[in-house]
Structure formats: C-alpha cells, structure tokens
Amino acid sequence: MLLLTGCGDRHEIGSPKASDTKPSQRTPQAPQQATGGHSRTAGIRDISFDDIAFDMEKGSAFSRDLLPERVLALQGQPVRIRGYILPSFQQTGLTQFVLVRDNMECCFGPGAALYDCIVVKMQPGQTADFSIRPVAVTGVFDLAELKGPDGNHLAIYALAGETVR
C-alpha cells in the first residue's frame, strides 16, 4: 500500500520481496539454473535488501572483507530490487537517487545501515520520478564506496539504473 505501517511484516505493507509476489503475477521465465530462491527474468536477477545485508556492528567502520561471497557475486550483475526512493529535491527527471529498504517511517529520523541503501545513477537518457510507493529498479549492481568529507562511508552499493517502475 502507499503508506508504510511500520517495520514489521513487510510482506503485508506494499513492499513484498520479489519472491513473495503472488504466483499469478510472476512473469513467465525462461529455464534457468537454480539460484537458490532468486527468480530470474531474461538474465535479470530479482534480489532484495535481505540479499545484500551482512553482519556489521552499528557505528563500526566498513571494510570490504565484511562482504559475504553472495554479495560479491552480484557485482556487475543485472538485478531488479524493490525499495523506496529517498525523498530528494526533485519530483521528476531524477538522474540519480538513493534507494532504501523502507522509508524509515519507523525510525526516529535519518539513519540506516550501509547495506540498506543503494545509490542509483540512471543510465544516460533514463530518468525516474519520485513516488512514495515502493518501486522496482533494474540495473547493474556494483560495489561503489561513497565517503563523506570526514572519510566515513555514506554508501557502499551502486546501481546503474535502467528502469524504475
């Protein structure tokens, strides 16, 4: 649904994981090698923020050796992931935005784990429009550490965005 009703059961609040979509809504898929629960449509791998999470103590420094193999394996892969566009200054024509797991409505202000956000830069000629609804973004996943002026990490994941729906 349009509004997040808390950090509880996300399957019930309008941002279901791709693997949780109703069977009748899944796109017919070409035969593919089993990927342990991830669906794949025409070479695009459906993932969720759960798939790119990893153990990291809050407030601790990031290093690449924290990343599990399943995350490293996604580097350079075309994926589709659902999330929320973090509100920014533009309504339409977004060439870049931050995709987050949820709209953090449950949180007491800004703040999220590094693995809960992806910096999306749209491919040339492609743009996105902001919406409070969850969106599905397709694109090539990558590791791209973004640091602030103080040297702390602001983000570690990037997506070269192709479509936003």
Partner 1 sequence: MLFETRPADWQAVAADELLIGYCLTAAPPVTDPQQAADRLRWFAHRLEHPNAAIAADAYAEYALAPFAVVREATTALDAEQLASWLTDPAINPQRRGFYGLAAGLVARQRQGSEASCCRQALHQALAAPRGSDFQAGTDGLLAGLLIADGAEAINNTALGLFAETASPVDQRHLLNALRFAWEEPADTMPRHQTVATTRRLLALPHLAREAIIDLARYQDWEALPAIVPLWDELGQDDPLIRPAVAGYLVACPQPAARQAVEQLRRRDADAVAAAIAASRFPLPAATDSR
Q: Could you list the residues that contact partner 1 (CB under 8 A)?
A: 1-6, 8-9, 11-14, 16, 19, 21-26, 28-29, 31-32, 34-39, 58-59, 86-91, 96, 98, 100, 103-106, 108-114, 116-117, 119, 130-133, 146, 148-150, 152-155
Whose Cβ is closer to partner 1: residue 9's or residue 55's?
Answer: 9
In this complex, which beta carbon is closest to partner 1, that of residue 11 or of residue 75?
Answer: 11
3-state secondary structure 72-101: HCCCCCEEEEEEEECCCCCCCCECEEEEEC
Give, in degrees to the nearest 5, the angle at Cα 157 between 153 and 162.
Answer: 145
Inter-residue contact 10 to 16 (CB < 8 Å) = yes
Q: How far is the CB of 100 from partner 1 (least distance, A)?
A: 6
* Cα gap 46→66, rounded to integer Å: 23
**Smallest distance from partner 1 to CB 47, Å:** 13
CB of 96 to partner 1, least distance (A): 8
The least distance separating partner 1 from the CB of residue 93, rounded to whole angstroms, comes to 12
Task: Give the chain's length.
Answer: 165
Neighbours of 4 (CB within 10 A): 19
Please identify which residue in the block is written with the tokens 């794949």. 40
Question: Rounded to 5 degrees, what are φ and ψ at 146?
Answer: -115, 120
Q: Residue 141 or residue 157: which is nearer to partner 1 going by CB?
A: 157
